[in-house]
Amino acid sequence: MTHNDIVQKLWNLCDVLRDDGINYSDYVTELVMLLFIKMEHETADAEVLKTHALPDGCRWPDLNGRSGLDLLNHYKQMLLDLSKSEDRLIAAIYADAQTRLGEPRHLEQLISSLDQIDWFSAEKDGLGDLYEGLLEKNASETKSGAGQYFTPRPLINAMVRCVRPRQRERIQDPAAGTGGFLIAADAYIKQQTDELFDLSDRDKTYQRLQAFVGLELVPGTRRLALMNCLLHGMEGDDEGVVHLGNALGQAGAGLDRADVILANPPFGTAKGGGGPTRDDFSFKTSNKQLAFLQHIYRGLKPGGRAAVVLPDNVLFEAGQGTEIRRDLMDKCHLHTILRLPTGIFYAQGVKTNVLFFTRGTAGKPHQDENCTDSVWVYDLRTNMPSFGKRTPFTEAHLAPFEQCYNPAGSDTLAEQLNAREEGDWSFGAEQIEADRAAGADDANAGVDDKLQTSRWRRFSREWIRDTKDDSLDITWLKDADSLEAENLPEPDVLAAEAMSELTEALRELDGLMVALGSQDEADTLKKLLAEALGLADNADAESDEVKA
Using one digit for the tens of pLDDT, what is the confidence trace for 395-422?
A: 999 999 999 999 999 999 999 999 999 9
Count of positions (residues) in the chain: 548
Specify the pLDDT at position 537. Answer: 57
pLDDT digits (tens, 9 = 90+) for 355-377: 999 999 988 999 999 999 999 99
Q: Is residue 99's pLDDT more than 80?
A: yes
Specify the pLDDT at position 389. Answer: 78
Specify the pLDDT at position 162. Answer: 97
- 50 vs 422, residue with greater confidence: 422
Give the burial class of 393: count Cβ atoms within 10 A of its Cβ; 0-12 exposed, 13-18 middle, 19 or more buried: buried
Q: What is the distance between the alpha carbons of residues 305 and 310, in angstroms, rounded to a whole number?
A: 16
Buried b (16+ CB within 10 A) or exposed e, 21-30: ebebebbbbb
Q: What is the distance between the alpha carbons of residues 195 and 208, in angstroms, rounded to a whole number?
A: 12
* Range with the largest mean pLDDT of 146-150, 276-280, 469-473, 520-524: 469-473
Q: What is the distance between the alpha carbons of residues 138 and 228, in angstroms, rounded to a whole number?
A: 14
CATH topology of domain 3-140: Ferritin (1.20.1260)
What does the angle CA 216 – CA 300 – CA 418 come to, to the nearest 5 degrees? 125
Nearest to 455 by CA among 531, 402, 379: 379
pLDDT digits (tens, 9 = 90+) for 511-548: 777 777 777 777 877 777 777 777 655 545 444 544 44
Give the burial class of 7: count Cβ atoms within 10 A of its Cβ; 0-12 exposed, 13-18 middle, 19 or more buried: buried
Q: Is residue 344's pLDDT more than 90?
A: no
Buried b (16+ CB within 10 A) or exposed e, 405-427: bbeeeeeebeebbeebeeebbbb
Q: How many CB atoms lie within 10 A of CB 444?
A: 6
pLDDT digits (tens, 9 = 90+) for 158-185: 999 999 999 999 999 999 998 999 999 9
Contact between 301 and 172 under an 8 Å Cβ cutoff? The reply is no
- 348 vs 32, residue with greater confidence: 32
Find the Cα–Cα–Cα–Cα dihedral 23, 28, 33, 38, rounded to 10°: 130
Buried b (16+ CB within 10 A) or exposed e, 64-89: eebeeeebbeebeebbebbbebeeeb
The secondary structure of 437-491 as a DSSP string is HHTTT-TT--HHHHHTT-SEEEEEHHHHHHHHTT------PPPTTSPPGGGSPPH
Specify the pLDDT at position 542. Answer: 47
Specify the pLDDT at position 125. Answer: 63
**CB-based contacts of 246-251 (< 8 A; 24+ apart in sequence):** 246/215, 246/217, 246/277, 247/174, 247/175, 247/215, 247/217, 247/292, 247/295, 248/276, 248/277, 248/278, 248/288, 248/291, 248/292, 248/295, 249/276, 249/277, 249/278, 250/277, 250/278, 251/215
Specify the pLDDT at position 294. Answer: 96
Specify the pLDDT at position 443. Answer: 41
Q: What is the distance between the alpha carbons of residues 524 and 410, in angstroms, rounded to a whole number?
A: 70
Share of the chain above pLDDT 70, in %: 84
Contact between 329 and 281 under an 8 Å Cβ cutoff? The reply is no
> Residues with Cβ < 8 Å from 255, sequence gap 6 or more?
172, 174, 213, 215, 247, 299
Q: Tell me which of 90-94, 123-127, 232-236 is least confident.
A: 123-127
Give the burial class of 480: count Cβ atoms within 10 A of its Cβ; 0-12 exposed, 13-18 middle, 19 or more buried: exposed
- Measure Cα distances from 204 to 190, 209, 235, 388 in Å: 10, 9, 12, 39
- The one-character DSSP state at 1 is -
Specify the pLDDT at position 347. Answer: 53
Specify the pLDDT at position 438. Answer: 65
Contact between 416 and 405 under an 8 Å Cβ cutoff? The reply is yes
Contact between 335 and 358 under an 8 Å Cβ cutoff? The reply is yes
Share of the chain above pLDDT 90, in %: 55
Helix, coil or strand: residue 355: strand
Confidence of residue 388 (pLDDT cuts 50, 70, 90): confident
Confidence of residue 140 (pLDDT cuts 50, 70, 90): confident
> Residues with Cβ < 8 Å from 370, sequence gap 6 or more?
330, 461
Beta strands in 312-423 (DSSP E): 332-339, 352-359, 374-379
Q: What is the distance between the alpha carbons of residues 7 and 135, in angstroms, rounded to a whole number?
A: 9
- Measure Cα distances from 404 to 13, 332, 408, 470, 512 in Å: 44, 21, 9, 24, 53
Q: Is residue 142's pLDDT more than 60?
A: no
- 548 vs 140, residue with greater confidence: 140
Specify the pLDDT at position 510. Answer: 76
Confidence of residue 272 (pLDDT cuts 50, 70, 90): very low
Specify the pLDDT at position 410. Answer: 92
Q: What is the distance between the alpha carbons of residues 338 and 378, in angstroms, rounded to a whole number?
A: 5
Record the pTM: 0.83
Question: What's the N-to-C CA distance of the chain in angstroms?
Answer: 84
pLDDT digits (tens, 9 = 90+) for 289-326: 999 999 999 999 999 999 999 999 999 999 999 999 99
Q: Is residue 447's pLDDT more than 70?
A: no
Q: Is residue 57's pLDDT more than 50?
A: yes
Chain-wide mean pLDDT for the chain?
Answer: 85
CATH of region 151-468: 3.40.50.150
Q: Give the residue-averaged pLDDT of 257-278.
A: 75
The domains of the chain are located at: 3-140, 151-468, 491-547
> Residues with Cβ < 8 Å from 523, sequence gap 6 or more?
none
